[in-house]
Structure 1
Amino acid sequence: MKQRALNFGREIMFDNLSEKVSRALRNISGQGRITAENIKETLRELRIALLDADVALPVVVNFIDRVKKAALGREVNKNLTPSQSFLSIVKKEMTHAMGAVNTEINLVTQPPAVILIAGLQGVGKTTSVGKIGKFLKEKYTKKVLVVSSDVYRPAAIKQLETLAKEAEIDFFPSEITEKPIEIVKSALQFAKQKLYDVLIVDTAGRMHINVVMMNEIKQIYDTINPIETLFIVDAMTGQDAANAAKAFQEKIQLTGIVLTKVDGDIRGGAALSVRHITNIPIKFLGVGEKQQALEPFYPDRIASRILGMGDVLSLIEDIESKIDYAQTEKLAQKIKQGEGFNLNDFMCQLRQMSDMGGIHSILEKMPGIGQLPENLKNQIDNKLLIDMESIIKSMTLKERANPEIIKGSRKRRIAQGSGMQMQDINRLLKHFDNMRRLMKQMKTGSLPKKMIHGIEGIISKKFFGH
């Protein structure tokens, strides 16, 4: 039987850059005032941190110059320490480098609003089409149609059909024997006839050095006249992503960037480079494989995450949009009636955390993440939620309803059934007890808040035994 503990290391978004920037900013702490001399070393380390994160050199030079000028030309707020004042300057300039404000997707046109998706091979274009379609359907209640003009990759059309079904949006069929230009013409005509609000056109991945393919996308662009042309960028490519976007911009008018695979082991270079080099706003972040793992891009919020200051607004939005309030209210009523909180209820909460993007997504939005010890961050992985659910599923219905009966022999059986260790069973039960105590203290309308306390408990040092 496979035995393993509940700990798997993985990067948190921009974690590498965040840790290095936080380390650089420590040099200014304890200083009585900001001077050219005492920020010299901090600026040098900031420069190194950004270059290590694969931020383009012109962006680094501009950023450091702006921070230096702002720091030396600014009177320190009496309510802030010099280090706090310097941190606010760094955040402001980092936000400026990424575009200052959120740029929403533009749908203001005679329907259907046509969105063209472009990008290099293997960056996640087709997956992004499904995510964007689902986002527009759920947030803006739009009637969405998607179509694939990628006749060069045999599985591309079928992949988009599957994603459309999962996202509960409509799919326009196409065949690899058809010409891409004829496919998009037919899809546009159909979208107009059936009164669709939005048509999203997926295109084949292409290299910008391929003249024939670049001419093809130019022809598609001219034919459908999209209101939005979104360039999909793999965040792990660093500053190369900005260079690719610039090459496409010479052929078609890009209106926005979608950074994909942001939840992977990235250094942050693409997010900080692409806007400065191309002057094209980043509109979305792809933060996972699930259909709902798409976030609008807010430069100030991302700057806060990079600087370890959290992103409470995005966390609140996640709760409002992804928590099942009908299920939450049902649980609230159950507890008020004295029925108690059991492991089935706890499992429902774990699933809701998963719907919010998992532990990584929640953790990076909490203030103070930059101060967490590396050994603790390295033990946190989204798979933890899956393993905890696996433990509960290995229990009998009687055990889930009456956790107090889970003693020695039952724990051993559950550990064997779930492929976990005894210590994992004990940790889960300990956390469950903490959550149950919180639920007993619950007052009317306060359950979502208690759930957030529970989320904090799952990722706390106490839960991980440190």
Structure 2
Amino acid sequence: MFENLSEKLERSFKLLKGQGKITEINVAETLKEVRRALLDADVNFKIAKTFTEAVKEKALGQDVLTAVKPQQMMVKIVHDELTDLMGGVSTDINIKANPSIILIAGLQGSGKTTFSGKLANLLKTKRGKKPMLVAGDVYRPAAINQLQVLGEQIGVPVFTQEGSKNPVQIAKDAIRDAKQKGCDVVIIDTAGRLAVDEEMMNEISAVKKAVDPHEILFVVDSMTGQDAVNTAKEFNDRLDFDGVVLTKLDGDTRGGAALSIRSVVNKPIKFVGTGEKMDALDVFHPSRMADRILGMGDIVSLVERAQEQFDAEEARKLQKKLQKNQFDFNDFLSQIQQIKKMGSLKDLASMIPGMGKAIKDMDFDDDAFKGIEAIIFSMTPDERANPAIINGSRRKRIAAGSGTSIQEVNRLLKQFEDTRKIMKMAGQGKNLTRALAGMQPGRRP
């Protein structure tokens, strides 16, 4: 996500490295590269020009403190301008009514149906709502089935009317059904087209007029760049939607849509999709996105994801087990499963400051834990609770049962033992440096 843009912006800031002060000449050289980086990211030309002019005005008007280097000052100014460009602050959706009606719009293939499921899951698990999904796409045969599968997966009811070709009537009947079932949010998934056309606009306008939604969200594929921005403008002219959802932000996106769309339609980006899983949906925070674009990571979001999986009671129990050196494979497996729930490994790593560039060309396998889990699942309950009893014959059986080799089983047992030593010392507040040094081949603590 934004890898090329991040790299080019970083390169542009290096022009100021070693400079004693900000001058009109070095600012002009830097901003020429910044503008080029934005255009390469498929940012609208006028927006890129306005952006760099605003940065230039602020940079030349700065009284740079001696403690702050020109390069650092420029990064700060660009960060603030990027944040403003993307909306400044996060904007929530309107779900105060009962039921709150949310209308989902967008082109075919933009990810509307998947987003509808993700939004329902987020509202159910994090907001305590009771949502209902509505299959309002009467043209794409797979759309209804897809929504039903998603609804079953997240435990949310899905309203359908098989054979009906009237999306207005479907929406009305769905709202009535939601009231009867006590659902407090109705999410209406509408039909998309391969391109904007009059028939499509008339249809979704009719649905809007009939149900008077409290929130209209325009879903756009962020990988389409400026085409996404142009489509958003056409939809907004007809629907006057409340916010934008950027999907597939985990793909090979240049970032142009995220940076341009707010300026073009003057509507906030409210959510970003970062994967296929139902929990891969994040509230959009302009400042945090600016952090990531500039290679600063996003520690706040990383901590928030960790806290969502954090169980205080379980943590206390684990602390006691660590202090008594009773950490076993059941605990090890539990920690792995919590990490997996936080999202893709590459996305998590990119949130750590300085890691974005380091992992740019690395291939992260989100199934990397499968082999470890298979080995642990092939152990008996006694072996998981007391790894010390795993002798040669048991290792051979575990390898056969997990479809791995004895070497892989031995490697996991060694890693587990090393991890247990470190965690025990951490739990007792001892010197970890000596422990880590002692685990290196040929070194003694």
Give the TM bin, normalised by the shorter chain: 0.7 to 0.9
CA distance 1:141–1:279, shift in 2 (3 Å): same
Aligned letter for 2:234?
A: A
362-371 or 319-328, which deviates more: 319-328
Checking the alignment, whether the CA contact within 8 Å between 1:208 and 1:247 is kept in structure 2 is: no
Instruction: Give 3-state SS (helix, strand or coil) of 1:232's partner.
Output: strand
Structure 2 residue aligned with 1:241? 228
Q: Which residue of 2 aligns with 1:67?
A: 55
Structure 2 equivalent of residue 363 of structure 1:
349
1:272 aligns with 2:259: yes
Show structure 1 runs of 5+ residues with no match.
Answer: 1-12, 451-456
Q: Is the 8 A contact 1:358 1:385 kept in 2?
A: no
Number of the residue aligned with 1:383: 367
Write the deviation string for residues 199-222 of structure 1: whole angstroms up to 9, x where unpaired: 110001124532112211110011
- 1:345 matched to 2:313? The reply is no
Structure 2 equivalent of residue 439 of structure 1: 423
Which residue matches 1:302?
Answer: 289
Deviations 1:84-103 (A, max 9, x none): 11111110011111111101
**Could you give the per-residue CA deviations for residues 114-170 of structure 1, whole angstroms, max 9, x where no partner exists?**
100001111111111111111112222112111111111112112112212222222
| Residues 32-111 of structure 1: pairs in structure 2 closer than 5 A | 32-109=20-97, 111=98
The answer to which of 420-429 and 170-179 deviates more is 420-429
- Deviation sequence 1:39-70 (CA, Å, 0-9, x none): 33322222222222222222211221111111
SS in 2 for 1:383: coil
Distance 1:407 1:373 in 2: 38
Superposition pairs of residues 47-446 of structure 1, within 5 angstroms: 47-109=35-97, 111-336=98-323, 338-370=324-356, 372=358, 374=360, 377-393=361-377, 400-401=384-385, 403=387, 428=412, 431-443=415-427
Distance apart, 1:397 and its partner CA: 5.5
SS at match of 2:239: coil
Which structure carries more relative contact order (alpha carbon 8 Å, separation 6+)? 1
Normalised by the length of structure 2, the TM-score is 0.88
Change (3 A) 1:404 1:241: farther
> Hey, what does 2:443 align to over in structure 1?
none
**Is the Cα–Cα contact under 8 Å of residues 325 and 420 in structure 2 kept in the other structure?**
no
Q: Please give the alpha-carbon distance, in whole angstroms, between the structure 2 residues aligned to 1:387 and 1:341.
A: 20
Larger radius of gyration: 2
Letter in 2 for 1:347: L
Q: What secondary structure is seen at the aligned counterpart in 1 of 2:46?
A: helix
Contact kept? 2:107, 2:196, Cα under 8 Å: no
Query: How far has the Cα of 1:410 moved from its partner?
Result: 7.8
* Residues 49 and 175 of structure 1, relative CA distance in 2, 3 Å threshold: same
* TM value normalised by structure 1: 0.84
**Partner AA of 1:359 in structure 2:** L
In structure 1, the residue corresponding to 2:173 is in which secondary structure? helix
Query: Sequence identity of aligned pairs in percent?
Result: 47
CA distance in 1 between partners of 2:290 and 2:300 (Å): 13
Aligned Cα root-mean-square deviation (Å): 2.9
Q: Distance in 2 between matches of 1:61 and 1:425?
A: 58
Partners in 1 of 2:303 and 2:335 — Cα distance?
A: 16
1:207/1:317 Cα in 2 relative to 1: closer, same or farther (>3 Å)? Answer: same
Q: Is the 8 A contact 1:258 1:282 kept in 2?
A: yes
Distance 1:339 1:441, change over 3 A: closer
Give the stretch that moved more between structures: 85-94 or 138-147. 138-147
SS where residue 259 of structure 1 aligns?
A: strand
In the aligned structure 2, how far is the partner of 1:156 from the partner of 1:144?
A: 18
Unaligned runs of 5+ in 2: 441-445
Distance of aligned partners of 1:443 and 1:396 in 2 relative to their CA distance in 1, 3 Å threshold? closer
1:255-283 residue CA offsets vs partner (Å, 9 max, x unmatched): 11111111122111111111111111100
| In 2, Cα distance between equivalents of 1:54 and 1:430 | 49
In the alignment, residue 44 of structure 2 is paired with which amino acid?
Answer: A
